[in-house]
């Protein structure tokens, strides 16, 4: 089976999962963390090289204070419990987003977790935290404009590669496959630049119900997709279809 080299996931539906059970929303997020554990382990076992999870969006700061606080606590607990598992499985932790807005203790714990896993050579797990794609692109443009104002870059030298190099995702390949749970068919300000040619997959399953089995089902669907990158089918088959994905 061809695996996506880089799988990105919008984990959605924790709140609805809880509501359906008459539970507070935070219990949906708690269950969501359990699913994160299982999916991270499954992706690493399958041999996926990059996994990126949309864990907290820029817009999520607008949620009720107690929900934001609870999500921050869940994140801290997740890091405390999971870094040893990451080390065991060779997983390297990475973070994208405007992390300067995170509470100091969480930001410190994140920095330490990234540092502790820095030399791991297996899957790269990227958590998108306080992340919004328009914000990421805006920050990148500011950096390029400053470089131009200092005379370090000429406007005509600004290329797609130069822009990509200023994004938080520098060093990561673009996602090959994006999964969004809970039936919403939106990108919600996630990786807008990087998703240009990504295959999109939407499932009705709410994130707390998403299982390793359903992940494999989604990956089978990825195998049936024909990725053309704007070329004709004939051109792509000459180049060797799906060369971005590793054969496993
Ligand atoms: C969407 O559900 C999910 C989030 C806003 C946060 C995702 C967070 C987790 C899965 C847990 C924390 C993650 C880590 C890595 C520790 P929603 O609340 O928008 O659901 P709804 O649309 O049904 O209300």
- The verdict on residue 151 lying in a domain is no
Tokens of 13: 């539906």
Report, as an integer, the average pLDDT of 223-245. 74
User: Any idea what the CATH number is for the domain that residue 242 is in?
Assistant: 3.40.1180.10
**Is 200 within the bounds of a domain?**
yes
pLDDT per residue as tens digits for the range 104-157 = 999 999 999 999 999 999 999 999 999 999 999 999 999 999 999 999 999 999
Asked if the structure places residue 161 within a domain, the reply is no
Q: Is 142 annotated as a binding residue?
A: no
Domain limits at 185?
Answer: 6-132+173-246
State the DSSP code for 24: -
Please tell me the total count of domains within the chain: 1
Residue 164 has pLDDT above 70, yes or no: yes
Cα separation, 186 vs 119, in Å, equals 35
224 annotated to bind ligand: no
Report pLDDT digits (tens) over 25-34. 999 999 999 9
Ligand 1 in reach of 91 Cβ (< 6 A): no
For 46, residues 6+ apart whose C-beta sits below 8 A from its C-beta are 3, 219, 248
Determine, yes or no, domain membership for 152: no
Q: What are phi and psi of 125, to 5 degrees?
A: -100, 115
- CA 195 to CA 106: how far, in whole Å? 28
Residue at 159 is within a domain: no
Are the C-beta atoms of residues 166 and 143 closer than 8 Å to each other? yes
Judge whether 168 lies within some domain: no
pTM for the full model? 0.94
183-207 pLDDT per residue, tens: 999 999 999 999 999 999 999 999 9
What is the distance between the alpha carbons of residues 221 and 59, in angstroms, rounded to a whole number? 30
At 45 the pLDDT is: 97
């Amino acid at each position: 089976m061809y695996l996506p080299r880089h799988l990105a996931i919008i984990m959605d539906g924790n709140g609805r999962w809880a509501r359906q059970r008459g539970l507070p929303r935070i219990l949906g997020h708690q269950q969501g963390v359990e699913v994160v554990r299982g999916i991270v382990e499954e992706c690493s076992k399958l041999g996926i090289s990059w996994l990126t999870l949309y864990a907290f969006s820029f817009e999520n700061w607008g949620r009720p204070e107690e929900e934001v606080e609870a999500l921050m606590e869940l994140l801290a607990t997740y890091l405390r419990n999971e870094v040893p598992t990451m080390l065991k499985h060779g997983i390297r932790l990475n973070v994208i987003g405007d992390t300067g807005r995170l509470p100091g203790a969480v930001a410190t714990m994140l920095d330490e977790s990234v540092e502790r896993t820095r030399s791991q050579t297996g899957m790269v797990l990227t958590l998108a935290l306080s992340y919004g794609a328009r914000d990421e692109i805006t920050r990148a443009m500011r950096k390029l404009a400053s470089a131009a104002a200092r005379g370090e870059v000429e406007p005509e030298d600004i290329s797609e590669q130069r822009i990509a190099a200023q994004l938080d995702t520098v060093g990561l390949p673009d996602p090959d496959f994006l999964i969004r749970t809970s039936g919403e068919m939106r990108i919600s300000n996630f990786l807008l630049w990087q998703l240009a040619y990504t295959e999109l997959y939407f499932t009705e399953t709410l994130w707390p119900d998403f299982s390793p089995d359903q992940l494999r089902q989604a990956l089978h669907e990825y195998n049936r997709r024909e990725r053309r990158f704007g070329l004709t089918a004939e051109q792509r088959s000459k180049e060797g279809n799906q060369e971005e994905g590793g054969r496993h």
